[in-house]
Structure 1
Amino acid sequence: MSDKAAGAFLTIGELSDSLGLPQHILRYWETRFPQLRPLQRAGKRRYYRPEDVALAQRINRLLNQEGYTIKGVQKLLSQRMGPSADMAPAPAAAPAAPQPSAPAVAAGMLPAIRQVRADLARALADA
C-alpha cells in the first residue's frame, strides 16, 4: 500500500491487509453498512475510494477497539451520515462523550452485578 498515492483506490486485498482483517469481513460489512459501497468493476472486483477506506477504518475502530456492536455502529453511522458528515475527524470524537459517564454507570451497577454473581455462584454450587 505504500507504493500508492494518498488518494488512490485500494483493492479489497490491500484494504484487508491495512486493517489486519480477512477479506470476507469487509464483504460482510458491505451487507451490514449501506454507507460502505466500493466501486465494483468487471468480474466483481472491488475498489475502495479514500472515503470508503476512511469509513472501513472507522467501522473497524468502533467494532474492534471501542466495543460497539454491529447494530450500535449502524445506528451511529445512520445518525452521523447527514449531508455535511463526511468521514471528518469530528465524528470520530463523538463516541468519546459517553465514555466519561460509563465508569459512573458501572459503579452504580456494581452492587447489582455482585448480587447476580453471588446468585450464579450459589446456583452452580447447588447443581
Structure 2
Amino acid sequence: MTKSEDAFRTIGELAEELGLPQHILRYWESRFPQLRPLQRAGNRRYYRPADVALAKRIDQLLNREGYTIKGVQKLLEGRNIPEPQPEPDRAGLSLVELKRIRTMLAEALALDGD
C-alpha cells in the first residue's frame, strides 16, 4: 500500500524512497537548516510533504547533477533552485508489470530453446 503524496513520511520511508541510508538524511538535516522534519517522542522524525520535496531536490542536486554540499547550500540560501529534471519514463509501467513481462519473456526463451 502506498501513502498519499500529502502523508507524512518516516525517515525510513523517505530513505527507502530516495534509495539512501537514513544517516545521510540526518546528515543533511545538519547541513541544510531548511530541512527540518517534525520530531516526536524518542526523536522520531516525520517529514512533511514540503520536507520530502526538499529532500528530493537536495538528492537531485547532489547525486544526479553533481553539486557539492556548499553549492547546494548556496542555491538554497539564494532561493535560486533549478527545477529538477524529469526522471526517465518507463512508459508508465509499474515495477510489478515490468516483472510480469520479464517472466513472460524468460518463459518464452526457455520454450524456444527446447
Compute the TM-score of the two structures, normalised by the length of structure 1.
0.63
- Asked if 1:72 is matched to 2:71, the reply is yes
- Asked if 1:45 is matched to 2:44, the reply is yes
- Asked if 1:93 is matched to 2:72, the reply is no
Equivalent-residue separation in structure 1 for 2:58 and 2:19 (angstroms): 13
The equivalent residue for 1:119 is: none
The equivalent residue for 1:123 is: none
Please give the root-mean-square deviation of Cα atoms over the aligned residues, in Å: 1.8
Where do 5+ consecutive residues of structure 1 fail to align?
A: 82-90, 95-127
1:23 positional shift: 0.1
Q: Which has the higher contact order (CA 8 A, sep 6+)?
A: 2
1:93 positional shift: 2.9
Structure 1 segments, 4+ long, off by >6 Å, are: none
3-state SS, counterpart of residue 6 of structure 1: coil
Equivalent-residue separation in structure 1 for 2:59 and 2:82 (angstroms): 12
3-state SS, counterpart of residue 82 of structure 2: helix
Where do 5+ consecutive residues of structure 2 fail to align?
A: 85-114
Aligned length: 85
If you compute each CA radius of gyration, which structure gives the higher value, 1 or 2? 1
Compute the TM-score of the two structures, normalised by the length of structure 2.
0.70
The equivalent residue for 1:7 is: 6
What are the Cα deviations for residues 43-72 of structure 1, in whole angstroms up to 9, with x where unaligned? Answer: 000000000000000000000000000000
Query: Structure 1 vs Structure 2: percent identity of aligned residues?
Result: 73
Of Structure 1 and Structure 2, the greater helix share is in: 1
